[in-house]
Structure 1
Amino acid sequence: MTIFFPLIYLFAGWLLGKTALDFKTAASWVLTRIAIPIVIMFNISSRFSSMSTIITATAVCMLTMLVVSRWIMRDPVKSLCFSYLNIGWLGLPVASALFGNDASTIIIAAYVGSSIVGNSVGAGMLSGSRFSLFKLVQTPPVLALIAGVVLIPFSQEVTRWCAGLYDVSKFMMSFLGMAVLGIWLSKIRLSGSDILQEIKPFLLKSVVMAILISLLLILARIFHFRLIAENPATLYLFCLLPPAANIIVLETHYLGTGESAKPITCGTCVSIIAISLYAVVILGFRVWGVTG
């Protein structure tokens, strides 16, 4: 049932977009300034020892994807759609349903890594400013990362006293993010040709991701990092994820536009089909393994 929650939130945003309320700007501010930083800070402070390698690997992979995208396209929105994946809001419920607790740990850690890069480097790309380490340190996700590292010695206290706040922030992150996308969708028209146009970038992104993940698995086996080495099916799920819905939040916050709504939505449609086929294959192997 959790797999369908992102779609429910998307539909709720679409309905809200049909009203006269301008909800998207306020929701984007809450996400970028409050909810996402709290999620990053909580995970870093309470789970850093088991997540640090995956966080670092995800950040490196995403930066590599950004470099590749600069060879292909110059538009910062399209570049983010190519490299910034919907790991937390769509990948987490799917991976949890298919693969269980280890998958959840991997997905959450990967989300933290991608969120730090996407919300800092992505913000710089959309704002049109040149890279500045000083400005990067001032972005909410990096400040949250620093705060999380400072709080590592107090991880038990953070887990005890802030678990409720974390749960609320995680829900807000998922609900508000997909709702903002739904609001923009209510204002545009989609056609079958729009979805077909997203197949080529989806396949290109999947190939690049598959290469990076294969290299990561080889390194994990060499250095005996069990969590990565023993969960290849979870990692290859990343190849099928669509552009992050958070891109529309960043675009709304920094540019006041919604150009990414169409590629995100069409990419999500393609991704849902691909993930469904992947799930059928995974479940088929499990059945075959039991009965065979």
Structure 2
Amino acid sequence: MRHQFSERISPGMLSCLFSYLNIGWFGIPIVQAVYGAEGAAIMTAFYVGGMLFGNTIGYSLATADGGGLAKGLYKLVKIPSIYAVTLAWCLRLFAPGSSQFILDNFASLLTLGGLLTSVCGMGLVGMSIAHTHFRNVPWGVLGRLLGLRFVCILLLSFGLQSLLLPLDFITPMDAKIYLLFAALPIAANLLVFSAKDDRARAEYELVGIALFSSTVLSFVLLLVAIELPHFFSF
């Protein structure tokens, strides 16, 4: 698989296509619609972990172009989300009542912000194929990539929830959400990460079509994934 994409995409970006999921713009709204506030709260916790991974390790992998540790750290300190999470942790630690104050006074703004973020994220998905030459897309290889990605994530998430649920490390709701991960599309942030320079145009186009294809596929896969828990006793 890596050999087939070697001329169009970096190994680091290929790894991110498998590991960086669109939890925030896609996963949270879907889970909230299906499982309500409880599911959305759990998915939000997953989103924080995914965001930290994607904007640190994922960003470093996707934009790896040499420069060593110093350059990698310099890239990381430019990521705004790291400071947002740090601020949230500080407020929670030193001002425990601040979260409830924010919810009580700015709930409508947070809801609006979440809606706009989701809409803009889906807009970015559409823009990802604006300049793609569809005749040049290696559809066979792309199909195998998305298929292998789905199988790998499904096996991993199913294995984890099967192991952790009997031990009471996770709740039945957690287990249901675990099974949705394989159906989630590739994170739209990767399109931003791939827009490095003109030399990376081929990578940008391939990431764009992979992102778009995985998003369209997710609408079908999620219908199946949401029904899967009914076949199991949790």
2:213 counterpart residue number: 266
TM-score by length of 1: 0.61
Instruction: Return the alpha-carbon distance in structure 1 between the equivalents of residues 33 and 140 of structure 2.
Output: 28
Check conservation: 2:128, 2:212, Cα contact below 8 A.
Answer: no
1:7 counterpart residue number: none
2:57 counterpart residue number: 121
Q: Choose from 243, 252, 258 the match for 2:186.
A: 243
**Structure 2 unaligned residues grouped into runs of 5+:** none
1:75 counterpart residue number: 11
Check conservation: 2:150, 2:183, Cα contact below 8 A.
Answer: yes
2:132 counterpart residue number: 188
1:85, distance to aligned residue in structure 2 (A) = 1.0
1:147 partnered with 2:87: yes
2:21 counterpart residue number: 85
CA deviation map 1:48-73 (0-9, x unaligned)? xxxxxxxxxxxxxxxxxxxxx9xx97
Q: Cα gap change, 1:120/1:161 in structure 2, threshold over 3 Å: closer, same or farther?
A: farther
Instruction: Return the alpha-carbon distance in structure 1 between the equivalents of residues 148 and 111 of structure 2.
Output: 35
Q: Cα gap change, 1:221/1:144 in structure 2, threshold over 3 Å: closer, same or farther?
A: farther
> Pairwise CA RMSD of aligned residues?
3.3
Q: Choose from 124, 145, 166 the match for 2:110.
A: 166
Q: Cα gap change, 1:174/1:131 in structure 2, threshold over 3 Å: closer, same or farther?
A: farther
Instruction: Return the alpha-carbon distance in structure 1 between the equivalents of residues 185 and 23 of structure 2.
Output: 9
Q: How does 1:23-34 map to 2 (within 5 A)?
A: none
Higher helix content, 1 or 2: 1
Identity %: 25
The residue matched to 1:187 in structure 2 has which SS?
coil
Instruction: Return the alpha-carbon distance in structure 2 between the equivalents of residues 275 and 195 of structure 1.
Output: 22
2:164 counterpart residue number: 219
Q: Cα gap change, 1:231/1:173 in structure 2, threshold over 3 Å: closer, same or farther?
A: same
Amino acid at match of 1:219: L
1:277 partnered with 2:224: yes
CA deviation map 1:183-209 (0-9, x unaligned)? 231222436x75553332223223332
Check conservation: 1:248, 1:261, Cα contact below 8 A.
Answer: yes
Count of paired positions: 212
Check conservation: 1:195, 1:269, Cα contact below 8 A.
Answer: no
Q: Choose from 5, 25, 46 the match for 1:110.
A: 46
The residue matched to 2:14 in structure 1 has which SS?
helix
1:147, distance to aligned residue in structure 2 (A) = 0.7
